[in-house]
Structures are given as C-alpha cells and as structure tokens.
Amino acid sequence: MYFQSELRPLERGGNEPCVEEFIDMCDDMVVDGSISVDEWCDCFTFADDLRHEPPCHKARHDVDPHLLGVFLPRCDLEGFYKPEQCHDGNCWCVDRYGREFDKSRVQNTLPDCGQYASDLTEEDVAYLKARI
C-alpha cells in the first residue's frame, strides 16, 4: 500500500518541493519513489522528538537514499542498528549503536556476527548478499 496518491494534492499551490523532499526522506527502506506503510510509520515515529531518535533511524534520515553509493544502515524495529551491516563489498558487525566490532570486517562475504546477535533470517541473508 502506498500513500503517493494522498500526497499528490499537496503538489498544488507551490508545495511540490516540500512533497518531493518528504518523499525522498521517507523513501528509505526500499528506494523506489513510493512510500510503503512501514516507511510512512517509520518516518513519523520521531517527527516531533528528534532528540530521542534512535541512532540507526537518525543515520538513515541524515543521508539522501537516492545518492549513488550512499550507505544506508540496517535498522531493527526500534531504530537501533542490526548486527550485520554491508556496503560496497564489505560487511562488518556492529553493536546496537552502530559501533563496529574490532576485526569483524570481511570482504565479499557475510560476517559471522553470531556472537553478537541472533541467527539471520533468509530474508536478511538475501538482502545482505545483494549489498556485497
């Protein structure tokens, strides 16, 4: 379900730059030009309380997801970092605040973060492999 049709009326009256910026900021889980229900809810979770925004959530919203080569961290439902992170052929293990564990960085393979986290789901493995 996408909310783009609900945003379309806002484009009238000179609001288009605001709507475009909003879509760019919120379209960050799957960058596809549409805002899914999860992206919509995630975008408003800390809209009124940025001081208490969890670190991974903040990191995702501090970058433009449409820029080529930008790192978008994997976040859990509470907005903290998932243990396995991958970008540009490298993978590594982090704590929930995004701090990398020493000697956990590997290249062209998934890291073994089992000592820091629960087992990866098939969906997690597929997502991470696509980022290697």
Per-residue pLDDT reduced to its tens digit, 87-124: 999 999 999 999 999 999 999 999 888 876 666 788 88
Per-residue pLDDT reduced to its tens digit, 26-83: 776 667 777 777 777 777 666 666 567 889 988 988 888 778 899 999 988 888 999 9
CB 132 within 8 A of CB 110: yes
In degrees and rounded to multiples of 5, residue 2 shows phi and psi of: -125, 150
Domains and CATH numbers, the chain: 1-45 (no CATH), 51-132 (4.10.800.10)
Query: Would you give the DSSP letter of residue 80?
Result: S
Which tokens belong to 46? 């800390």
